Amino acid sequence: MTSPTPLLRLALLILLGLFTPVLWAQETLEIPRSHIEEAPDLADLPSFDVMPPDGTMGRLYDSMEDAAGKKLLNTLPAAVTEKLGFALPLVDEADVVWELEAWGSWNETVSGTGKLSVVDMAKLGEDPALQLSATLGTDQRGWNFSLIHLIPEGTPDGQWQAFSKNDGGNRTAFGATTNHLFEYERTLGHATPKGMASRTFGPGTTREEYLYTAVEHGRIRAYLDNDGYYRIHFLAQVSEYLIGRTINDEPTFRDATLSGWICSADLHAHDPEACELDNAFALIDHTPGEQRPNVNPTHPTITLTFSKPVDAQSLSDNFRVTTQAEDGATIEIDGGWEESPHPGAWRDSAKQRLSGVNYAALAEELA
């Protein structure tokens, strides 16, 4: 399930700050009359429905995403904002427009609007950094996409930062709190759509098997030096898995590449082209990685994942694969390029080829 927990923590922090009196149990909060009189319109103060009206799991997550999408800065009286600052040190908020394109096993363009929040992590006692959190709504889904991006102090504007599902505690990620990114209705775990809308367990509310998508890895970059505007670009690789049939999650060999952008609504209104992700052809990922230079000796393969579809013949015409001999001489390696059915498919092929291998003979060969 694609579920970037820092976004949920952000929503919970908002709810905690607004609705947990015990935080201020030992102190009386006084709001000066001048702050109330200066409020532009108290009727427009943000309204949070923290308890879902029908008590279902689906509405609970809907209400949490709705809370995360509310704007807080310049809407609450100054005294309330000051008290909230210790729990959620917001630096800025912005209405945004966004779009993503998917190609591969799913081909789709999804767009919508949302809200971007910027938090000063140093005020939370962490290393100096800005945490960008975007809640991205669309009429094409019954739930929100989300993006989080940690920008340490001193990071060059527009520098790509990589993320992976295997990076524990990563604060740069793209995803959603739902099983499947390419299904309209939100489901979580073994719950069916009926189960998400039910208050109790019953027939048809759960299932033994279900499909889910995982955002395997990707990259995000942000441009903050834009006269108060924000621009964010992201790339991601998504794979589908089946859970419940065996003890392990099984790949279905369906995958997609995502590329997208997020932009301040004001900037998009008068210069939409400034928001779009450039069409430059880029290498997103490769195997082996930088820290593992050797390939599988029995099934020697390298993989390249690009930001856009590529023709295998163009790779043959424009790439040379070489290695280095013991004396330093360059040796060109013969081979061919082929399109992979999904990221990491070469590993599955290697396992199949090794399933009947004579390991004793292999050991002698490699000795």
250 and 120 fall within a common domain? yes
**Which one has a higher pLDDT value, 29 or 177?**
177
Q: Which of 251, 278, 305 is the last residue of a domain?
A: 278
**pLDDT category of residue 344 using cuts at 50, 70 and 90:** low
CA angle 115, 45, 229 (to 5 degrees): 30
- Residue-number span of the structural domain to which 347 is assigned: 283-367
Say which amino acid occupies 162.
Answer: A
140 and 14 fall within a common domain? yes
342 and 205 fall within a common domain? no
The domain total for the chain is 2
Task: Give the mean model confidence (pLDDT) for residues 141-148.
Answer: 94
224 and 353 fall within a common domain? no
209 and 254 fall within a common domain? yes
What is residue 11's predicted lDDT score, i.e. its pLDDT? 37
Please, where are the H alpha helices in 20-77? Answer: 33-38, 57-68
Does the structure show a pLDDT above 80 at 179? Answer: yes
Task: Please tell me the distance from the alpha carbon of residue 270 to that of residue 264, in angstroms, as a whole number.
Answer: 11
Task: Give the mean model confidence (pLDDT) for residues 179-198.
Answer: 90
350 and 251 fall within a common domain? no
Q: Which of 223, 244, 278 is the last residue of a domain?
A: 278
Task: Please tell me the distance from the alpha carbon of residue 17 to that of residue 23, in angstroms, as a whole number.
Answer: 8
**pLDDT category of residue 213 using cuts at 50, 70 and 90:** very high
Prior bond to 156 cis, omega within 30? no
182 and 229 fall within a common domain? yes
307 and 175 fall within a common domain? no
146 and 229 fall within a common domain? yes
What is residue 12's predicted lDDT score, i.e. its pLDDT? 37
Instruction: Identify whether the C-beta of residue 222 lies closer than 8 Å to the C-beta of residue 158.
Output: yes
| Nearest Cα residue to 3 out of 274, 264, 215 | 215
pLDDT digits (tens, 9 = 90+) for 49-75: 555 566 777 777 777 777 666 666 555
**Which one has a higher pLDDT value, 290 or 200?**
200
Q: What is the DSSP string of 201-220?
A: --TTSB-S-EEEEEEEEEEE
